[in-house]
């Protein structure tokens, strides 16, 4: 599904450039559940943003399902992302002004679906995540675990092939975190590829593979 | 497009969730659009709206100029123009001269009077709504027809709108006049250009009988000319025509027409000329208000966008295209702008209503500044433009949502993300935009202040003035007039509370002036410019002291300077300097331009006094002649030697309080029971009247400028307080780490200081270059007066700083613990 070849990421700095990712060559197959680990500042989030096609400013090659991402125009890149990728964030990032239902509907509203189709999909997802009763509440009325549940639900609502999660349990208690991991595992078993960044060895055990980064270099797992 | 309606409703919901933001933005916008609507409407009314007369583009106003002056024409001039003009198909002469007393009812009332030739109504296309106007016979030379036409206002106010008034007889100054007609309410009389709307129209032939004016001579210049151009004739051709006529007059009557010229001007310029420039100034002011409003709202929306940075990034991450993000912000801004536009239009219509009533009473009843469809369309155009402007800038910023930066923690603490530069630029613009009208208003205020504080050269306090018209067989003989005036003064001086009393003609009653053309004796005077026109005033012995006009040389009049004694006069310093530079004028003689008149011996010199009005927009528009500026060429003559029929009195009262009208009436009734007092008013009220238009203009501009400053301050306040809110965490953190109040204040205020100063500098530069353009409206202050500009800039900066201090104080109150948990 994903092929990275000699990928490098750097920022300009007063004297020259500071490298954040060095010579990353990596392949991830369809259906994998990958955990990216490494010390703080290693470049994990940076890598995830590149994989998630938010950041197109890198050198080297990034091939996603036979498309060369680094050659795509920004607009096409966003199209590719829209069709394939869902995100889960450490701090949930739900929109405070929208209800649970509206938060879930949001990605669909950006994908040219009819209202009735959107209703059907959101209804299914609410049901699947067991949060039908919460659909009219605002994020501030939910617990952290419930908020992240909605965050995950929102990530899959557009049926992505790949879910990217940056420390999805970082702001949760351990049993809330476990619940999210179980959910990821179930989604993975249903066929969704998952890449998560985590500091927790326990969380990493839910996946089938660990990629370790250190100072921007791939330490192991390729 | 999917989700459009959801986005609109979400936009509205978002506004309701932030009532402070919405209210500020709406207020700013509706004020800007409202002021603009009303003012554009008014300016259109003043500058472009056709006058309410048929064939108004062919109507012209005729006035005269001569060496050292300009103003009215004489009645014979009017006749001469009518007979000789090849370019005017119809002409009329008219004068608005003070009031006459409507006697025979108690209390007697004053009627503002206009003397007009019958053609006056015909040229203005006006017919009586009841009855008729005058016939030519009724105004013919020597006619004794006693007929009157009432204005609609006088008819309803004084006669209760009774139709039976037509055909009835009223008594004016004791003389019987038959009311032959009533003008319609829609008739806009030209008398209003100079003074109050006339109550009664009389044939010019009646002026001599009623007001004691000498009958239709060249020595009396009280009239204006009104004409209608022949079809297809240009103004320039009419001017050449009148130039020729003036040259003929000069040859035929050199004693009164030396250096004389006639000027023709479109009636529209006559009526609105003085207001065109102020209208443009106001329009510019309101444009600045609108610009500030737009900058304000753009800023507010940008600030809100900065608040929503995380949301925008998130939406982008969830698949929103940049077009969708643009649309989202654009729609919300449009909702805001549309509401603001609607509110503003409503406010504008209301403001326009109030303003047109105000203009009618305070500026001129001939100006129609009510709302009209074109102005309304302009307002809607303005709002649309504002909407597009407001929506486009932040929407543009929204497009560039940076997902990586926007979603990383701490993104919200950074003010400079997402349009920070734009916001600072807008802040600078607001200050600049506000400074221009503020500086202009400063200039107008100083000009007005100079105007009202320019000493008149005499004491105006508690000075009661009124007129008596000594007409009829009883006052045929000059000696009878003098005797009555003396006897009356003696009685008045005995009234308790009266400090002094004198004849003082014509004083400051209206614009009417009496003039005398003189040349120093013993010099060649065959060239037109050898004669100088002096304004002539009649006073009693002791009168100059009573008025507070200081004598600097020679002696005052005495009772011995009577009709049998040689003519004597006291001249103003300016006359002395002009005619006898470096020499003592006392004892010298002035010869008159008309042959056969005895010379006048100068017996004294006074300081200059400003008898005529000090400032008139009309003067500015007509010829740049400002009555109160420059040398004052006046000559005082003893009433005993020069006894006009229309005599004006000035009474100095000891205390403030109501005028002792009844005591004065008793005093005159004891001498002549039929003699009415006319136009009784305190001089200070008359001066207030003269200052009304410049005061109104200064006030209007000041109001607009204050509004601009207020809006700019609101905008700055909004920016800074939002910035503080966004940096709550940072400020709390700094406080937790030991930052003192001074540090935090500097942090908050410091970032706004540079844009403020830059904006002020830019505003100053703009104001300086626009100031020159204002100069024609200014009295005694330059259009580039640096101290005024500096003052305006400083006060604006102080206001802006205050607007920053308030949110800064809120920042000081931040509790570090709460602030840090907020993220
Ligand atoms: N805009 C930037 N300019 C310069 N350097 C940056 C920028 N953004 C990130 N970096 C650097 O890139 C490196 C990697 O950052 P990244 O956020 O990917 O780390 P991480 O592995 O996710 O760490 P953590 O576990 O703490 O989240 C860091 O050293 C950081 O300083
Ligand atoms: Mg990270």
Which own/partner contact pairs does A112-117 have at CB distance under 8 Å and 24+ positions apart? Answer: A112/B2, A113/B2, A114/B2, A115/B2
* A-contacting residues in B 273-312 (Cβ below 8 Å): 310-311
Q: Cα of A40 to ligand 1 centre, how many Å?
A: 8
For B580-680, where are the alpha helices, taking DSSP H only?
617-622, 661-669
Could you give the number of structural domains in chain A? 1
State whether B472 and B443 are in the same domain.
Answer: no
State whether B43 and B97 are in the same domain.
Answer: no
> Which chain B positions have a beta carbon within 8 Å of A154's beta carbon?
318
For chain A, what is the largest distance between any 2 Cα atoms, rounded to a whole number of angstroms? Answer: 56
> Which chain B positions have a beta carbon within 8 Å of A111's beta carbon?
319
Distance CA B394, CA B300 (A): 9
- pLDDT at residue B818, as a whole number: 58
Q: How confident is the model at residue B272 (pLDDT cuts 50, 70, 90)?
A: confident
Q: How far is A62 from chain B (nearest CA, A)?
A: 18
The Cβ of residue A38 has, within 10 Å, a number of other Cβ atoms equal to: 21
Q: How many CB pairs under 8 A join A and B?
A: 49
**Both ends of chain A: CA-CA distance in Å?**
14
Residue A60 included in any domain: no
Closest Cβ opposite residue A89 in set B6, B321, B407: B407
Domain that holds residue B32: 1-51+277-411
Comparing A170-179, B84-93, B507-516, which segment has the lowest mean pLDDT? B507-516
Closest of B203, B222, B196, B239 to residue B60, by C-alpha? B239
CA-nearest residue, atom 26 of ligand 1: A40
Q: How confident is the model at residue B242 (pLDDT cuts 50, 70, 90)?
A: very high
State whether B516 and B633 are in the same domain.
Answer: yes
The Cβ of residue B315 has, within 10 Å, a number of other Cβ atoms equal to: 24
Question: What are the φ/ψ torsions at residue A197 (nearest 5 degrees)?
Answer: -100, 130
The torsion region of residue A38 among left (phi > 0), alpha (psi -120 to 50) and beta comes to left
State whether B446 and B493 are in the same domain.
Answer: no
State whether B485 and B633 are in the same domain.
Answer: yes
Residue from A46, A48, A55, A211 whose mutation best tests the ligand 1 pocket (most atoms within 8 A of CB):
A46
Closest of A54, A37, A13, A2 to residue A213, by C-alpha? A37
Residue A193 has pLDDT above 50, yes or no: yes
Distance CA B447, CA B702 (A): 12
- Render pLDDT for B486-516 as a digit per residue (tens, 0 to 9): 999 999 999 999 999 999 877 665 555 677 8
Question: What are the φ/ψ torsions at residue B7 (nearest 5 degrees)?
Answer: -70, -40
- Percentages helix, strand, coil for chain B, rounded to the nearest 5? 55, 15, 30
* A-contacting residues in B 399-418 (Cβ below 8 Å): 403-404, 407-409
Q: Cα of B723 to ligand 2 centre, how many Å?
A: 27
Sign for the pseudo-dihedral over CA of B737, B738, B743, B748: positive
Q: How confident is the model at residue B597 (pLDDT cuts 50, 70, 90)?
A: confident
Domain that holds residue A187: 31-53+83-210
> Which chain B positions have a beta carbon within 8 Å of A55's beta carbon?
403-404
Q: How confident is the model at residue B550 (pLDDT cuts 50, 70, 90)?
A: very high
Around ligand 1, the residues with Cβ closer than 6 Å are A 11, 18, 20, 40-46
Residue B249 included in any domain: no
* Burial of A107: CB neighbours in 10 Å, binned 0-12, 13-18, 19+: buried
> Which chain A positions have a beta carbon within 8 Å of B315's beta carbon?
95, 106, 110
- Render pLDDT for B297-318 as a digit per residue (tens, 0 to 9): 888 787 777 777 778 888 888 8
- Render pLDDT for B400-425 as a digit per residue (tens, 0 to 9): 667 777 676 544 434 344 456 777 88
Tokens of B708: 């601009």
Q: How confident is the model at residue B665 (pLDDT cuts 50, 70, 90)?
A: confident
Q: Which one-letter DSSP state was computed for residue B230?
A: P
Residue from A7, A10, A20 whose mutation best tests the ligand 1 pocket (most atoms within 8 A of CB):
A20
- Render pLDDT for B21-78 as a digit per residue (tens, 0 to 9): 788 788 888 888 888 888 888 888 888 888 889 888 999 999 888 766 677 888 999 9
Ligand minimally distant from the alpha carbon of residue A42:
1
The torsion region of residue B538 among left (phi > 0), alpha (psi -120 to 50) and beta comes to beta
Closest of A66, A78, A72 to residue A30, by C-alpha? A66
> Which chain A positions have a beta carbon within 8 Å of B404's beta carbon?
49, 54-55
Residue A37 included in any domain: yes
- pLDDT at residue A68, as a whole number: 94
- Work out which ligand 1 atom sits closest to the CA atom of A167: 27
For residues A147 and B313, the model is more confident at A147
SS (H, E, C) B296-347: HHHHHHHHHHHHCHHHHHHHHHCCCCHHHHHHHHHHHHHHHHHHHHHHHHHH
Question: Would you call A139 an interface residue with chain B, using a CB distance cutoff of 8 Å?
Answer: no
Q: Which one-letter DSSP state was computed for residue B191?
A: G
Q: What percent of chain B has pLDDT over 70?
A: 90
> Which chain A positions have a beta carbon within 8 Å of B317's beta carbon?
52, 54, 87
- pLDDT at residue B414, as a whole number: 42
Residue range B208-221: average pLDDT? 74
Q: Cα of B56 to ligand 2 centre, how many Å?
A: 80
Sign for the pseudo-dihedral over CA of B214, B215, B218, B223: positive
CATH code, domain with A111: 3.40.50.300
Residue of A nearest to B402 (CA): A54
Residue of B nearest to A111 (CA): B319
Closest Cβ opposite residue A97 in set B14, B321, B324: B14
- pLDDT at residue B108, as a whole number: 63
* Burial of A180: CB neighbours in 10 Å, binned 0-12, 13-18, 19+: buried
State whether B597 and B508 are in the same domain.
Answer: yes
Q: What percent of chain B has pLDDT over 90?
A: 27
According to DSSP, the β-strands at B261-266 and B59-66 are antiparallel
Distance CA B547, CA B610 (A): 12
* In the block, residue with structure tokens 């999210």: A180
Residue range B479-489: average pLDDT? 94
CA-nearest residue, atom 29 of ligand 1: A41
> Which chain B positions have a beta carbon within 8 Å of A109's beta carbon?
2-3, 6
CA-nearest residue, atom 28 of ligand 1: A41
Interface mutation vs chain B, best among A46, A106, A171, most B CBs within 10 Å: A106
Closest Cβ opposite residue B317 in set A54, A98, A112: A54
Contact predicate B610/B456, CB 8 Å: yes
Interface mutation vs chain A, best among B3, B4, B319, B408, most A CBs within 10 Å: B319
Report which secondary-structure segment, H or E, holds B219: none
* In the block, residue with structure tokens 């009844």: B662
Closest of B189, B185, B223 to residue B365, by C-alpha? B189
State whether B497 and B604 are in the same domain.
Answer: yes
Closest Cβ opposite residue B2 in set A45, A87, A112: A112
Distance CA B6, CA B17 (A): 16
For chain B, what is the largest distance between any 2 Cα atoms, rounded to a whole number of angstroms? Answer: 109
Closest of B263, B238, B118 to residue B181, by C-alpha? B118
Q: How far is B14 from chain A (nearest CA, A)?
A: 8
- pLDDT at residue B625, as a whole number: 42
Q: Cα of B282 to ligand 2 centre, how many Å?
A: 58
List of residues 6+ apart from A121 with CB closer than 8 A:
A108, A113, A157
Residue A104 included in any domain: yes
Which own/partner contact pairs does A128-135 have at CB distance under 8 Å and 24+ positions apart? Answer: A128/A153, A129/A153, A129/A183, A131/A100, A134/A100, A135/A99, A135/A100, A135/A101, A135/A104
Residue range A1-29: average pLDDT? 92
Distance CA A26, CA A77 (A): 20
- pLDDT at residue B820, as a whole number: 54
Residue B59 included in any domain: no
Report in angstroms the alpha-carbon separations of B525 from B109, B254, B398, B531.
Answer: 48, 12, 83, 7
* Burial of B410: CB neighbours in 10 Å, binned 0-12, 13-18, 19+: exposed
CA-nearest residue, atom 24 of ligand 1: A40
Contact predicate B509/B679, CB 8 Å: yes
- Render pLDDT for B680-709 as a digit per residue (tens, 0 to 9): 889 888 888 777 777 887 788 888 888 888
Question: Would you call A53 an interface residue with chain B, using a CB distance cutoff of 8 Å?
Answer: no
Q: How confident is the model at residue B624 (pLDDT cuts 50, 70, 90)?
A: very low
For chain A, where are the alpha helices, taking DSSP H only?
44-51, 74-84, 100-109, 115-128, 144-156, 174-189, 201-205
* B-contacting residues in A 111-130 (Cβ below 8 Å): 111-115
State whether B586 and B722 are in the same domain.
Answer: no
Comparing A34-43, B335-344, B476-485, B813-822, which segment has the lowest mean pLDDT? B813-822
Residue A137 included in any domain: yes
Ligand minimally distant from the alpha carbon of residue A14:
1
Closest Cβ opposite residue A109 in set B2, B311, B403: B2
Q: Which SS3 state, helix, strand or coil, does residue B135 take? A: coil
Interface mutation vs chain B, best among A79, A87, A98, A147, most B CBs within 10 Å: A87
Residue A14 included in any domain: no
- pLDDT at residue B417, as a whole number: 45
Which own/partner contact pairs does A217-222 have at CB distance under 8 Å and 24+ positions apart? Answer: A217/A22, A217/A23, A218/A23, A218/A24, A218/A25, A218/A26, A219/A38, A221/A34, A222/A25, A222/A26, A222/A27
- pLDDT at residue B30, as a whole number: 85
Buried b (16+ CB within 10 A) or exposed e, B656-681: eeebbeeebbebbeeebeebbbbbbb
Residue range B802-818: average pLDDT? 74
Closest Cβ opposite residue A110 in set B13, B14, B318: B318
- Render pLDDT for A207-219 as a digit per residue (tens, 0 to 9): 999 999 999 999 8
Residue range A180-198: average pLDDT? 93
Q: Cα of B489 to ligand 2 centre, how many Å?
A: 102
- How many residues comprise chain B? 823
Report which secondary-structure segment, H or E, holds B133: none
State whether B328 and B350 are in the same domain.
Answer: yes
Distance CA B534, CA B514 (A): 9
Q: How confident is the model at residue B622 (pLDDT cuts 50, 70, 90)?
A: very low
* In the block, residue with structure tokens 């349990």: A169
CA-nearest residue, atom 11 of ligand 1: A20
Could you give the number of structural domains in chain B? 4
Residue A86 has pLDDT above 50, yes or no: yes
Q: What angle do CA B447, B453, B455 make, to 5 degrees?
A: 130
Residue A72 included in any domain: no
Residue range B351-368: average pLDDT? 83
Closest of B74, B48, B47 to residue B63, by C-alpha? B74
CA-nearest residue, atom 10 of ligand 1: A20
């Amino acid at each position: 599904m994903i092929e990275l070849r000699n990928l490098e990421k750097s920022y300009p700095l007063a004297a020259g450039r500071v490298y954040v990712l060095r010579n990353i060559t990596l392949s991830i197959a369809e259906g994998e559940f990958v955990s990216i680990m490494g010390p703080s500042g290693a470049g994990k989030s940076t890598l995830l943003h590149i994989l998630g096609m938010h950041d197109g400013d890198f050198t080297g090659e990034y091939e996603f399902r036979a498309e060369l991402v680094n050659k795509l125009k920004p607009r096409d890149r966003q199209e590719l992302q829209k069709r394939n990728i869902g995100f889960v964030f450490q701090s949930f990032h739900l929109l405070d002004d929208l209800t649970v239902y509206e938060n879930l509907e949001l990605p669909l509203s950006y994908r040219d679906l009819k209202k009735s189709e959107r209703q059907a999909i959101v209804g299914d997802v609410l049901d699947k995540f067991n949060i039908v009763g919460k659909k009219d509440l605002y994020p501030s009325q939910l617990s952290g675990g419930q908020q992240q549940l909605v965050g995950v639900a929102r990530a899959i609502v557009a049926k992505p092939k790949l879910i990217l999660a940056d420390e999805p349990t970082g702001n949760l208690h351990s049993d809330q975190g476990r619940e999210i991991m179980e959910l990821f595992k179930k989604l993975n078993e249903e066929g969704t590829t998952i890449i998560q960044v985590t500091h927790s060895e326990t969380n990493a055990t839910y996946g089938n593979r660990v990629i370790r980064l250190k100072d921007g270099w791939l330490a192991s797992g390729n | 497009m999917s989700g459009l309606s959801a986005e609109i409703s979400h936009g509205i919901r978002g506004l309701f969730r932030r009532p402070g933001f919405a209210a500020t933005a709406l207020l700013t916008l509706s004020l800007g659009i409202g002021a603009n609507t009303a003012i554009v409407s008014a300016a259109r009314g003043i500058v472009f709206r056709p006058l309410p007369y048929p064939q108004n583009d062919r109507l012209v106003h005729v006035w005269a100029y001569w060496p050292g002056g300009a103003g009215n024409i004489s009645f014979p001039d009017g006749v001469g123009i009518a007979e000789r003009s090849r370019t005017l198909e119809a002409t009329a002469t008219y004068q608005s001269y003070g009031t006459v007393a409507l006697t025979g009812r108690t209390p007697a009332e004053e009627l503002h009077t206009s003397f007009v030739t019958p053609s006056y109504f015909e040229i203005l296309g006006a017919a009586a709504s009841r009855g008729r106007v005058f016939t030519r016979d009724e105004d013919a030379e020597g006619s004794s027809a006693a007929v009157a036409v009432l204005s609609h206002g006088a008819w309803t106010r004084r006669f209760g709108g009774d139709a039976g008034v037509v055909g009835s007889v009223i008594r004016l100054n004791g003389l019987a006049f038959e009311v032959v007609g009533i003008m319609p309410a829609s008739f806009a009389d030209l008398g209003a250009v100079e003074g109050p709307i006339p109550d009664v129209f009389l044939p010019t032939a009646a002026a001599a009988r009623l007001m004691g004016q000498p009958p239709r001579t060249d020595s009396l210049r009280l009239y204006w000319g009104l004409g209608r151009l022949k079809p297809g004739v240009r103004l320039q051709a009419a001017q050449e025509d009148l130039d020729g006529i003036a040259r003929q007059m000069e040859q035929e009557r050199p004693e009164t027409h030396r250096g004389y010229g006639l000027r023709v001007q479109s009636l529209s310029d006559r009526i609105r000329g003085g207001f065109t420039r102020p209208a443009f100034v106001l329009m510019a002011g309101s444009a600045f208000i609108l610009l500030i409003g737009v900058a304000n709202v753009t800023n507010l929306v940008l600030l809100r966008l900065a608040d929503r940075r995380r949301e925008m990034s998130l939406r982008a991450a969830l698949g929103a295209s940049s077009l969708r993000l643009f649309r989202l912000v654009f729609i919300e801004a449009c909702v805001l702008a549309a509401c603001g536009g609607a509110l503003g239009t409503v406010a504008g219509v209301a403001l326009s209503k109030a303003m047109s009533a105000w203009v009618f009473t305070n500026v001129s009843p001939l100006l129609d500044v009510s709302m009209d469809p074109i102005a309304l369309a302009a307002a809607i155009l303005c709002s649309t433009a504002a909407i597009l402007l407001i929506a486009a800038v932040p929407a543009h910023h929204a497009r560039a949502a940076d997902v990586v930066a926007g979603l990383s923690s701490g993104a919200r603490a950074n003010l400079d993300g997402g349009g920070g530069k734009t916001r600072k630029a807008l802040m600078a613009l607001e200050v600049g935009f506000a400074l221009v009208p503020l500086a202009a208003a400063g200039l107008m205020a100083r000009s007005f202040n100079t105007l009202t504080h320019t000493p008149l050269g005499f004491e105006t306090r508690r000075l009661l003035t009124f007129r008596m018209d000594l007409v009829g067989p009883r006052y045929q003989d000059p000696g009878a007039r003098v005797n009555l005036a003396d006897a009356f003064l003696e009685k008045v001086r005995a009234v308790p509370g009266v400090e002094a009393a004198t004849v003082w003609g014509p004083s400051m009653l209206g614009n009417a002036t009496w003039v005398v053309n003189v040349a120093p004796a013993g010099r060649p005077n065959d060239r037109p410019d050898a004669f100088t026109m002096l304004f002539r005033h009649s006073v009693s012995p002791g009168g100059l002291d009573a008025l507070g006009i200081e004598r600097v040389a020679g002696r005052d009049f005495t009772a011995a300077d009577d009709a049998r004694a040689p003519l004597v006069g006291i001249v103003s310093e300016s006359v002395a300097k002009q005619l006898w530079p470096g020499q003592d004028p006392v004892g010298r003689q002035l010869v008159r331009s008309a042959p056969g008149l005895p010379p006048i011996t100068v017996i004294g010199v006074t300081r200059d006094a400003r008898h005529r009005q000090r400032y008139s927009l009309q003067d500015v528009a007509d010829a740049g002649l400002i009555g109160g500026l420059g040398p004052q060429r006046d000559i005082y003559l003893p009433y005993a030697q020069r006894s006009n029929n229309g005599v004006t009195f000035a009474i100095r009262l000891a205390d403030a309080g109501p005028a002792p009208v009844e005591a004065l009436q008793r005093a005159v009734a004891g001498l002549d029971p039929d003699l009415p007092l006319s136009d009784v008013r305190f001089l200070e009220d008359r001066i207030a009247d003269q200052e009304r238009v410049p005061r109104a203009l200064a006030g209007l501009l000041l109001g607009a400028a204050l509004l601009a400053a207020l809006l700019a301050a609101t905008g700055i306040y909004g920016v800074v307080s939002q910035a503080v809110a966004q940096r709550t965490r940072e400020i709390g953190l700094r406080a937790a780490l030991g930052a003192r109040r001074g540090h935090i204040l500097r942090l908050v205020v410091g970032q706004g200081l540079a844009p403020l100063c830059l904006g002020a500098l830019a505003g100053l530069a703009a104001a300086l270059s626009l100031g020159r353009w204002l100069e024609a409206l200014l009295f005694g202050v330059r259009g580039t007066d640096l101290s005024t500009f500096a003052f305006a800039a400083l006060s604006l900066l102080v206001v802006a700083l205050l607007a920053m201090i308030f949110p800064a104080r809120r920042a000081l109150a931040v509790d570090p613990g709460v602030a840090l948990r907020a993220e």
